[in-house]
Chains A and B, each alone.
Chain A
Amino acid sequence: MPGRREFLNTLMRGGILAALGLLSGAVIFRSRDGKSCSYGFDCSGCSRSKSCMLPAALEARQTVWQLDMTKCIQCGRCATNCVMSPSAVKCTHAFAMCGYCDLCGGYFKPGTKILTTAAENQLCPTNALKRKFIEDPFFEYTIDEELCIGCGKCVKGCGAFGNGSLQLQVRHDRCKNCNECSIARNCPSQAFTRVPANKPSLMRGLGKERPGTAAKKGGVDA
């Protein structure tokens, strides 16, 4: 009897040890999966690549987070994943690129027939995009940052139907500049990147580009 009990005990201990060994192996295997980290380092040989905070910690004082609009797909995670509430990511406007359109793809819901500022016509879920008549047929669009949640709906509409002058950007007066940015961690297109703190914007069209030049440079100028 004692022999059988001892055998079962040994079997149980062995089982637990094997399971633990397998688990540890799996964790190490998973963390080696990443080939390069989001900070631009080559991590193919590093076992801690996914959890490594070193580059961010080193850079934190010299760099800030920014959203690369050439990669952004307007997935909505800037609105839902930021530690700030509302998000530190806001819609910004490159006025030099704007067509000042009456039928603005970033402002109006699809199918809007009468182009008025009525709430039911507006694409923005928080009424943060403001429309102001300038002269026939031009309208100016501005963003109320207090209301903007950084969802990117207007950015998607503007990019699809207009010149792409509405763009999401991290507002550094609101951003906590976390070492491991919660949005960057969840960004499906790796659009979040660190930029030098003295050049914190990645907006396109800030120069007074002529119509068409953005398209020639591979931009979205429609």
Chain B
Amino acid sequence: MKQKIFIIAGLLLLIAVIGIMFTDLFSGKKQEQTNPYDYKMGEIRKTDSNQTAYTELLTIKPALVEIHAIVNGDGDRIYVAGKNGLEIYKGDGKPDGNFSFEGVASCMAIDKRGKIFIGIQDHVEVFDQIGKPAGKWKSVSPESILTSIAVSNSCVYVADAGKKIVYRYDLNGRLINRIGEKDPQKNVPGFIIPSPYFDLALGKKGELWIANTGRHSLEQFSDEGVLNSAWGEASMAIDGFCGCCNPSHFAFLHDGSFVTSEKGIERVKIYSPKGEFTCIVAPPSAFTEGTRGLDLAVDSKDRIIVLDPERKQVRIFVKK
């Protein structure tokens, strides 16, 4: 009887051992290795939802392979440029035209006559509304990387991240002067552009503003290159500009407020004309982590148009 019990107990033990071995072999629960040096980026990307004053109204999906530049034109037509082409959309997102060209458009502007100025690597090409070429400007330098264009009634301003300088041209492409060259006598510290994001835009009164990204500031220059004012603070907090070099893009609302976008911590925010943080348009959670190049435009109704190159979308945000 005793032997029987031993045999049964032995069998049970064997079954238990085999069971444990099988569980261990097939459970698939490999011991997770925790990272004691984990850099938790999630915490940095969190924002207070009460500070987000905008909501996404509409998403447009352009057919272009790559999208890099956006402009709001006459009649709130949205122009999107990218690799080898340009597409035009009505304010409600319906397609309204397109044309092709060779090269990757990195920036774009439209003048009052409807001429389209497109920056392609190191030079500017001009097109009419149906895509007929109307000029190709000479490259300033083979090292140039054009990142932003703005057009006033008499001038075209072009930002060059490669040479870290802004050029002022007349409307026919003749270089008038350079803006932002380091000049201690004029108290111009020069642009610090560590990465190819270097935006400029014309303010409410047509004044020139340039993003000095390495200094995390927006600077206002006269046409002659005199630095009139600047604001901005480096910070990962919501009221500052994060990372090595931000804001990567900016635009203006009709009351002169600044709309800014950043990379690193992807976010779109609004600052008052004095440079005080007002609210969030789109928090980091609205974007895919690692998104860069959130170009901005504002239409006549102050809707904020965000180009999302990562998701290949044009996203329109309106006030809640």
Do A and B pair up? The answer is: yes
Interface residues of A (CB under 8 A from B): 5, 8, 12, 15-16, 19, 22-23, 26-27, 30, 74-77, 79-80, 98-105, 110-113, 115, 123, 125, 136-138, 149, 151-153, 156-157, 160-163, 186, 210-212, 215, 221-222
Instruction: Determine the interface band of chain B, counting residues with CB < 8 A from chain A.
Output: 35 or more
Closest CB in chain B relative to A113 CB, distance in Å: 7
Q: In the bound complex, do residue B244 and residue A76 qualify as a contact, i.e. CB atoms below 8 Å apart?
A: no
Q: In the bound complex, do residue A137 and residue B37 qualify as a contact, i.e. CB atoms below 8 Å apart?
A: no
Once bound together, how far apart are the Cα atoms of A126 and B162, in whole Å? Answer: 36
Please give me the residue from chain A that is nearest to B147 by CB atom. Answer: A212
Query: Which residue among A16, A22, A136, A211 has the maximum number of chain B CB atoms within 10 Å of its CB?
Result: A211
Q: How many A-B residue pairs have CB under 8 A?
A: 130
Q: In the bound complex, do residue B37 and residue A211 qualify as a contact, i.e. CB atoms below 8 Å apart?
A: no
Once bound together, how far apart are the Cα atoms of A163 and B192, in whole Å? Answer: 14
Closest CB in chain A relative to B46 CB, distance in Å: 11
Once bound together, how far apart are the Cα atoms of A194 and B199, in whole Å? Answer: 42
Contact with A along B249-271 (1 / 0, CB 8 A): 00000000000000111000000
Q: Indicate if B18 sits at the interface (CB-CB under 8 A).
A: yes
Q: In the bound complex, do residue B245 and residue A110 qualify as a contact, i.e. CB atoms below 8 Å apart?
A: no
Complex interface: chain A residues within 8 A of B26 (CB): 26
Query: Which residue among B37, B43, B237, B242 has the maximum number of chain A CB atoms within 10 Å of its CB?
Result: B37
* Further contacts, 20 of them, CB under 8 A, given A105-B243, A111-B236, A222-B292: A5-B3, A8-B4, A19-B14, A22-B18, A75-B35, A76-B36, A77-B33, A80-B35, A99-B214, A153-B39, A156-B39, A157-B39, A160-B243, A161-B244, A163-B194, A210-B143, A211-B193, A221-B195, A222-B197, A222-B245
Complex interface: chain B residues within 8 A of A137 (CB): 192, 214-215
Q: In the bound complex, do residue A211 and residue B145 qualify as a contact, i.e. CB atoms below 8 Å apart?
A: yes
Interface residues of B: mostly helix, strand, loop or mixed?
Answer: loop
Which of B7, B192, B196 makes the CB contact (< 8 A) with A212? Answer: B196
Complex interface: chain A residues within 8 A of B263 (CB): 222
Q: In the bound complex, do residue B35 and residue A212 qualify as a contact, i.e. CB atoms below 8 Å apart?
A: no
Q: Indicate if B168 sits at the interface (CB-CB under 8 A).
A: no
Once bound together, how far apart are the Cα atoms of A152 and B236, in whole Å? Answer: 20
Query: Which residue among B7, B44, B243 has the maximum number of chain A CB atoms within 10 Å of its CB?
Result: B243
Once bound together, how far apart are the Cα atoms of A102 and B38, in whole Å? Answer: 23
Q: In the bound complex, do residue A12 and residue B7 qualify as a contact, i.e. CB atoms below 8 Å apart?
A: yes
Closest CB in chain B relative to A34 CB, distance in Å: 15
Q: In the bound complex, do residue B243 and residue A162 qualify as a contact, i.e. CB atoms below 8 Å apart?
A: yes
Q: In the bound complex, do residue B195 and residue A222 qualify as a contact, i.e. CB atoms below 8 Å apart?
A: yes
Closest CB in chain B relative to A126 CB, distance in Å: 10
Q: 7 interchain pairs (CB within 8 A)? A: A12-B7, A16-B14, A22-B18, A77-B35, A156-B41, A211-B196, A212-B145
Please give me the residue from chain B that is nearest to A77 by CB atom. Answer: B33
Complex interface: chain B residues within 8 A of A105 (CB): 243-244, 264
Q: In the bound complex, do residue A136 and residue B292 qualify as a contact, i.e. CB atoms below 8 Å apart?
A: no
Which of A19, A26, A99, A123 makes the CB contact (< 8 A) with B194? Answer: A99
Once bound together, how far apart are the Cα atoms of A111 and B38, in whole Å? Answer: 16
Complex interface: chain A residues within 8 A of B25 (CB): 23, 26-27, 30
Complex interface: chain B residues within 8 A of A101 (CB): 194, 214, 244-245
Q: Indicate if B11 sits at the interface (CB-CB under 8 A).
A: yes
Q: In the bound complex, do residue B44 and residue A211 qualify as a contact, i.e. CB atoms below 8 Å apart?
A: no
Please give me the residue from chain B that is nearest to A124 by CB atom. Answer: B37
Complex interface: chain B residues within 8 A of A212 (CB): 145, 161-162, 195-196
